[in-house]
DNA sequence: AGCCTTTGACCAGCG
DNA sequence: TCGCTGGTCAAAGGC
């Protein structure tokens, strides 16, 4: 199989696998009360399947096969051993120039990219080494950026890995490093564990963000519901008033990694309450009471900071004298 | 001689 | 169709 086809196949498989994993997660969350998580997962799944479908239908690949100007690009033959021409002025398949690098632009744009932010070491103004050897092949001033973007590819020829380094204007000691392609030279093997951990961490963070958003909406609903009451049970927490009832099953409360960035929110949170809400493990099966305490604490912080005007307050006094599970809202 | 960086030119995508 | 922009190429020069 030609390297091009192999690469396309890898992308398709990766996208379909991701879609499958997300669908499994979605199945677990099929519940009207978990709309936020369902919505988030649905968007991710659709995006994965769209990418895979356009690859399989040839939408994305058709550009590579189309004749444009004097350059005619063909898909790589399945067992290409044709000699490779170096001159850019000849009518050649540009994807076969110099080694088997996937060098045409369309392909590069489709490569899965991974973005990282790294900080320069103290006293230095260059990004720290990432343990791999790179060779710089270009530098360009990017519109709207004070610093030029630098382009690197794997120092081992015949490897399609690339990276771009962009110094961030507002934080000159921080660099945005975008990795493209994968190392076919084996150079990356020693770093594969770290790589896998990074990917897992990203996925974990994505799920945690969805969970945190959901948790936030519960808190909001709880403290703003008129005449609310709640019940703890071994299966979860139930909030209710004269009009509605909603349940938070224990399974909704998953630990939020402390490494996660705080989720974006339009909830008027200050830093302290954000930390309180997301920087700790939310209640597990053995700690449903802490949900109520947490909600009361969050409300208190909002109120003290004068940032919220909830129509009805959570009844902290009743909570304190609560041997039974029911708490009325004093509004 | 071989490898590297620099830098202007070129090419493809996109609005 | 055209102009702008990001990404890449490749010649030139340095080490």
Higher pLDDT: A301 or A24? It is A24
Higher pLDDT: A110 or A195? It is A195
At A15-68, the pLDDT tens digits run: 666 666 666 666 665 555 455 555 555 655 665 555 555 555 443 333 333 333
Q: Is A246's pLDDT higher than 70?
A: no
Return the half-sphere exposure (C-beta side, CA atoms, 13 A cut-off) of residue A178: 13
Radius of gyration of chain A (CA): 26
Q: Which pLDDT score is estimated for A149?
A: 92
Structure tokens at A124: 């230095």
pLDDT band at A150 (very low <50, low <70, confident <90, very high): very high
Q: Which pLDDT score is estimated for A185?
A: 65
Strand C atom within 7 Å of A149 CB: yes
pTM surpassing 0.85?
no
Q: Which pLDDT score is estimated for A120?
A: 79
What value does the mean pLDDT take over residues A310-319? 28
Positions on chain C within 7 A of a protein C-beta: 4-10
CB A142 within 8 A of CB A166: yes
Strand B atom within 7 Å of A87 CB: no
Q: Is A164's pLDDT higher than 50?
A: yes
Distance in angstroms: CA A137, C1' C11: 13
Going by C-alpha positions, the residue among A69, A96, A41 that lies closest to residue A206 is A41
CA dihedral A290, A295, A296, A297 (to 10 degrees): 80
């Amino acid at each position: 199989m030609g390297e091009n086809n192999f690469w396309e196949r890898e992308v398709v498989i990766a996208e379909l696998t991701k879609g499958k994993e997300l669908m499994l997660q979605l199945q677990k969350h099929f519940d009207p009360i978990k709309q936020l998580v369902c919505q988030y997962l649905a968007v991710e799944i659709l995006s994965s399947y769209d990418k895979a479908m356009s690859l399989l239908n040839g939408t994305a690949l058709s550009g590579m096969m189309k004749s444009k100007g004097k350059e005619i690009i063909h898909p790589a033959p399945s067992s290409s051993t044709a000699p490779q021409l170096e001159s850019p002025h000849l009518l050649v398949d540009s994807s076969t120039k110099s080694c088997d690098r996937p060098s045409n632009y369309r392909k590069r744009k489709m490569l899965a990219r991974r973005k990282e932010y790294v900080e320069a070491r103290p006293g230095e103004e260059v990004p720290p080494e990432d343990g791999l050897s790179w060779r710089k092949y270009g530098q360009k001033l990017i519109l709207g950026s004070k610093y030029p973007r630098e382009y690197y590819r794997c120092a081992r020829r015949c490897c399609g890995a690339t990276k771009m380094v962009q110094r961030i204007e507002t934080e000159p000691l921080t660099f945005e490093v975008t990795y493209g392609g994968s190392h076919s030279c084996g150079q990356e093997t020693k770093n594969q564990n770290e790589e896998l951990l990074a990917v897992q961490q990203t996925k974990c963070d994505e799920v945690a963000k969805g969970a945190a958003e959901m948790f936030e909406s519960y808190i909001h609903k709880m403290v703003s519901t008129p005449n609310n009451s709640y019940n703890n049970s071994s299966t979860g927490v139930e909030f209710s008033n004269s009009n509605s009832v909603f349940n938070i099953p224990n399974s909704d409360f998953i630990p939020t990694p402390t490494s996660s960035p705080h989720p974006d929110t339009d909830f008027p949170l200050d830093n302290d309450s954000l930390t309180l809400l997301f920087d700790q493990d939310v209640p597990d099966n053995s700690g449903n009471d802490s949900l109520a305490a947490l909600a009361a604490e969050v409300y208190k912080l909002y109120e003290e900071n004068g940032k919220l005007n909830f129509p009805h307050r959570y009844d902290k006094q009743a909570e304190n004298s609560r041997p039974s599970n029911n708490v009325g809202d004093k509004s």
